Structure 1
Amino acid sequence: MIKAERRGEKHSTDARECLRKCLLFSRLDEVAFEQILSHTRLVTLEENDMLFEQQQPAKEIFLLRSGRIKLALVSPEGHEKVVDLISPGGTFAEAIMFAGSHLYPVTATALVKSQVWGINAATYEGILRQSTTACFAVMAQMSRRLHWQIAELDRLTLHNAAFRVVAYLLDQLPSTHLASAVIRLDTPKHVIASRLSITPETLSRTFSKLSRDGFLMIEDNNVTIIDIEKLRTYGRSGGV
């Protein structure tokens, strides 16, 4: 069940800290920032709760406070393609401010209990019309996302399943990790497979091969990367 919390002192303090860390809001002057805060709500989602549905009128942009959000395209026949998995600190749905239709292009669903800040899109759009600084912040965010999408297109079309799985695992780790690490896969494996454009069976076979080859140890939802640098080298070789 979706729950929207009322504003309070704790709510405002927490929202201030979270939003100030976000590129979209970090450089706003205090007047504009307070305006954003006054049009922000905290939404709590239980596992499998839908935040918004594809083609639903878009009124808010979102910042994930905690949990995990799945963004997916759903075909008229009901087939789902996961296009992104949002982690805490990530924003989504910003592009609606520049889309003539003002409809959400994907469906957003909580994979685990999650909390998101919902920011009124019209309020932020109004600030953009008055602030060059705010516009450049959005352009920087969109530029980052464009570069990420180009890299993602390369990953999903030009590389094999092993490369995609290795890249996904390494994306869960800070780039400074060099030795070993344990990753807890709190995202269902069929969702990960959809995100990587492979079948769940292919994902399972790839995990098994990486385990047999000495890169991983897998126990339930815990994946131990035995040697991160070795796995990075394997990934750079194209997963072959």
Structure 2
Amino acid sequence: MTLATASSTVAFNTAPISHLTASTFTPSRSTFVPRLIRHFDTSLHATFIPANLTTAQSARVNAIVCSTRFVKRGATLYRAGDAFTSLYAVRTGCFKTVVVHRHGDEQVTGFHMAGDPLALDGVCSDEHNCDAVALEDSTVCVVPFALLENLCQDMKAIQHHIHRMMSGEIVREAGLMMMLGTMTAEQRVAAFLMNLATRMKARGYSGVEFNLRMTREEIGNYLGLKLETVSRTLSKLQKEGVVGTSGKQIRIIDDERLASAGCPVTDACSRREHVSQTTQADL
């Protein structure tokens, strides 16, 4: 797996577009919703706009996002081999990135929620190296990469911000490689849950109780585990009073024990989230 293959995407945690309904869209493809952004999208500001920019500079960044795209559950935002033209920021919903092997098997390389970037994998080769599939009805902001590059030339703070975002992906992949190469099944599942909790909390949601957007089979694929192993590990953690589970709902009862069970991968995941958060706060 290459660094580009495992790249994630930035999602925006903003309210859904109220006038869109499921009947507006066909289930087999994603749909563009042209929309001029006349106001500052708070999620866009948190993801792509450093805190020290002036109002006028922030407006320039905001101006390059001129459309959103609705992606129905199960549809693809882009596929491996598609030409790379834009970065995407998840506004609502959740995506998985998937690499399809020659013999047809799929490998999940990441899960991307509101506030995460998507399509960083296309920067190195000008084409996408994986599929991005919506796990639920989702919307993304479209950021044309050529316009973003031009903006980076004029505004070094934006350039540095994007560099830090890409660096965060390197840290994420290092943690994933450590997990797949050295960790037990229980450590992998614990680290995965702690990472999700950290990301949810960073986006203003509860880091203690949340719903999984992915299936246990998809979690197992990502962690290099069988479905039965994931289910058995979650049951074990529940019996030990570490977590509570009910279908896709997860409740973390003892976060210290869960963090301890997930070491050392949890530390790597936390560093990746720290890079993302300090990028927004420090620039």
Aligned residue number for residue 64 of structure 1: 90
Moved more, 221-230 or 73-82: 221-230
Structure 2 Cα separation of the partners of residues 221 and 58 of structure 1: 34
Structure 1 residue 35: deviation in Å? 6.2
CA RMSD after TM alignment: 2.6
Structure 2 Cα separation of the partners of residues 184 and 95 of structure 1: 27
Structure 2 Cα separation of the partners of residues 49 and 83 of structure 1: 17
Per-residue displacement from partner, 1:150-203 (whole Å, max 9, x unpaired)? 122112211111001001111122498xxx933322211111111111111211
**Among the aligned pairs, what percent are the same residue?**
21
Please say if 1:185 is aligned against 2:215. Answer: no
Q: 1:57–1:103: 8 Å Cα contact kept in structure 2?
A: yes
Partner amino acid, structure 2, of 1:203: V
Aligned residue number for residue 18 of structure 1: 43
Q: 2:64–2:148: 8 Å Cα contact kept in structure 1?
A: no
Aligned residue number for residue 276 of structure 2: none
DSSP-derived class of the 1:129 partner: helix
What TM-score results when the alignment is normalised by the length of structure 2?
Answer: 0.73
Q: 1:82–1:194: 8 Å Cα contact kept in structure 2?
A: yes
User: Where do 5+ consecutive residues of structure 2 fail to align?
Assistant: 1-25, 202-206, 266-283
Aligned residue number for residue 87 of structure 1: 113
Structure 1 residue 32: deviation in Å? 7.7
Structure 2 Cα separation of the partners of residues 36 and 184 of structure 1: 31
User: Where do 5+ consecutive residues of structure 1 fail to align?
Assistant: none
Please say if 1:131 is aligned against 2:159. Answer: no
Partner amino acid, structure 2, of 1:76: R
Aligned residue number for residue 148 of structure 1: 172
Runs of 4+ in 1 over 6 A off after TM superposition: none
Please say if 1:159 is aligned against 2:183. Answer: yes
Structure 2 Cα separation of the partners of residues 64 and 44 of structure 1: 10
Aligned residue number for residue 41 of structure 1: 67
Structure 2 Cα separation of the partners of residues 48 and 132 of structure 1: 38
Rg: which structure is higher?
Answer: 1
Structure 1 residue 90: deviation in Å? 0.7
Match of 2:254 among 217, 220, 227: 227
Greater RCO, 1 or 2 (C-alpha within 8 Å, sep 6+): 2
Structure 2 Cα separation of the partners of residues 7 and 237 of structure 1: 44
Alpha-carbon distance change, 219 to 124 in structure 1, aligned in 2, over 3 angstroms: same
DSSP-derived class of the 2:160 partner: helix
Q: 2:208–2:252: 8 Å Cα contact kept in structure 1?
A: yes
What TM-score results when the alignment is normalised by the length of structure 1?
Answer: 0.85
DSSP-derived class of the 1:84 partner: strand
DSSP-derived class of the 2:108 partner: strand
DSSP-derived class of the 2:87 partner: strand
Please say if 1:200 is aligned against 2:227. Answer: yes
